Structure 1
């Protein structure tokens, strides 16, 4: 997950060397046998066509403001109901959306539990190794770059694809895991929960090298770490998203110490101490799970430490209820982390960490979108837009609205709360 590259891939043999004896041509039968051997060798090293690979993802163009220049893909299970939850998935370095969909196992649980998957994809023009730029201040702050693009994907899924943006979750591996930390910190009002796999605390690179953050890691007090998250969205009073942390015992790229620092950051945000309320092990490989409970008994933070494996996403190939994924580069045959992550999100029946059931006074129906028509000066004055360099931008979507004056008028649509888009033709 290095920010300017990723770990070197294991070298692969291209098959046995070919040697010719003498100068004569091979007999016809010998040629046929030789061709058959070559074909068999080629088959061994050809890409494997897997029956359980995810279907081709659906690309989504023009999903709104995209200051980070990312790609958006969607996986929608057959007969997905309206207002389904949405899970954002963020791949690691040298990967893309389809690779992550094919190997992580999330599509299996989207089918089973009926939620939409949104895959954000990095481009090589942004980062040569296709790492999300979690270490760049222009991409890891609210309303800017890649963070703003991912937030816009959730808004588009809510407004145009039939998902319920009030039930949004995010998870990712390595660079995608750190970007998960970024999204939970910069847009805590958008995501109900997140799961960071092989990631680091938000704000670690403020004053530290990204490589130092990854290994050996950076020490900070719980309150110091929590302050960095609070500073990402000043004035936000909560509630804070729930957090699941996954780390591997033998990870030398992003050392397990980062899991402890992430725990300190998010337990402090939730007002909890750093002693677990519950500890157990998960099958099939005795992954150690520590849970930190909120006052209502729900799991606010949990830490999962996976034995034996190194830097990558734990999977457990197979057709069993708790199995998923494919073991390949950076996907280790170990435990189906996607099963436990979607359960932590509360998206599966009998899940270990469901969101608290709303009280009768709480409505589960998203409020109707509100529309506001005014000139740019009034929109800024009312807090629905911001100004920079003489231009005005819709708060949340960061869509440009023109010059900061009273002569330019737009209609802004607010959905969800605090997120505004230009809707001159789509509001009454």
Structure 2
């Protein structure tokens, strides 16, 4: 349902809320940020966040960009005016979250944020500018905070160029007063992504590894479907993790089979044999660590008929080509 009256809304964004019919008090809140050319509802349907929330009892907030702010519906992660503490789009999203927490008696210690692509980059901005608000964040095919201040710089960083790894952590530390505890960060990246280069995942790891003061990963797994690394701090808390998905292009990894099958393949929602939606929620401890078997009716409703799509293609869709076409139409990219 639409969310109204959530504050001054300096970033001029829309907002939608999903809350299960029997939402318990002190339930968690997940803020979900769509990618370029997407809407909140399309991203929700593909990723399955509302379906997951309905089953396990938490609320989901969906900020949505307006075309007047960005012709491609991208969150303006590269605009200093929209990524400062207390200003622009980051402040609008903070106001939405605080309003929902108060109205629905949610747990302020269990607020999380995730997003894809431009939404992933804006997730970085939310974690940097509002670190006291979020217990954790998940960045999917996104970019580090503060690395671009214009459209040309944004394209350069998306290609993995122009980085100064030595200054990455300072960009976060200087964005807002240091919190009592920094949020945990989960990073997801396809190795065949030609829209946001995999080098950005490596830079995200460097940015947040330095913030959390961790060095080498103390947990790792490698298989056909993903390569995983995890970092725990001195208290044993998982503060940083990275999932690399071999052969996956630009999009959110989902699976259309098994107990983790929340969401459906669609543009930017890519069959990967692993559900980023479920794994992220599990790392935040708001769903069971191992997905329980789903009721027969729910499982059949959630399993799409479409054949699995690999290497960044879903239903014949090329995400990189679509983004470039949209940017050219808006005059932001030369032919």
Alignment deviations for residues 125-171 of structure 1 (CA, whole Å, 9 cap, x no partner): 11111000111111011111100000001110111133223311000
Counterpart for residue 221 of structure 2: 280
Counterpart for residue 248 of structure 1: 190
Q: Which piece of structure 1 moves more, 342-351 or 152-161?
A: 342-351
Contact map agreement 1:220 1:261 (CA 8 A) in 2:
no
User: 1:165 and 1:295 mapped to 2: Cα distance?
Assistant: 24
Contact map agreement 1:75 1:118 (CA 8 A) in 2:
yes
Alignment deviations for residues 236-278 of structure 1 (CA, whole Å, 9 cap, x no partner): 25411000000000001110111010001001000111x2111
- Extract unaligned runs of 5+ from structure 1: 1-57, 353-428
Decide which of 217, 220, 228 is 2:164's aligned counterpart. 220
Higher strand share: 1
Displacement of 1:300: 0.7
Equivalences for residues 118-197 of structure 1 within 5 A: 118-197=61-140
How many residues align structurally?
Answer: 289
User: 1:197 and 1:160 mapped to 2: Cα distance?
Assistant: 29
Counterpart for residue 295 of structure 1: 234
What secondary structure sits across from 2:229 in the alignment? strand
User: 1:237 and 1:347 mapped to 2: Cα distance?
Assistant: 22
What secondary structure sits across from 2:78 in the alignment? coil
Displacement of 1:120: 0.4
Counterpart for residue 349 of structure 1: 288
Counterpart for residue 251 of structure 2: 312
What secondary structure sits across from 2:81 in the alignment? coil
Contact map agreement 2:24 2:57 (CA 8 A) in 1:
yes
What secondary structure sits across from 1:290 in the alignment? strand
Counterpart for residue 310 of structure 2: none
What secondary structure sits across from 2:265 in the alignment? coil
User: 1:153 and 1:237 mapped to 2: Cα distance?
Assistant: 20
Equivalences for residues 31-70 of structure 1 within 5 A: 58-70=1-13
Displacement of 1:230: 0.6
What secondary structure sits across from 2:43 in the alignment? helix
What secondary structure sits across from 2:139 in the alignment? strand
User: 2:146 and 2:110 mapped to 1: Cα distance?
Assistant: 25
Structure with the bigger RCO (C-alpha within 8 Å, sep 6+) is 2
Cα gap change, 1:74/1:288 in structure 2, threshold over 3 Å: closer, same or farther?
same
Structure ID, larger Rg: 1
TM-score (norm 2): 0.83
The runs of at least 4 consecutive aligned structure 1 residues that moved more than 4 Å come to none
Decide which of 242, 245, 261 is 1:323's aligned counterpart. 261
Displacement of 1:210: 0.6
What secondary structure sits across from 2:80 in the alignment? coil
What secondary structure sits across from 2:36 in the alignment? coil
User: 1:84 and 1:305 mapped to 2: Cα distance?
Assistant: 30
User: 1:217 and 1:261 mapped to 2: Cα distance?
Assistant: 11
User: 1:160 and 1:324 mapped to 2: Cα distance?
Assistant: 27
Counterpart for residue 239 of structure 1: 181
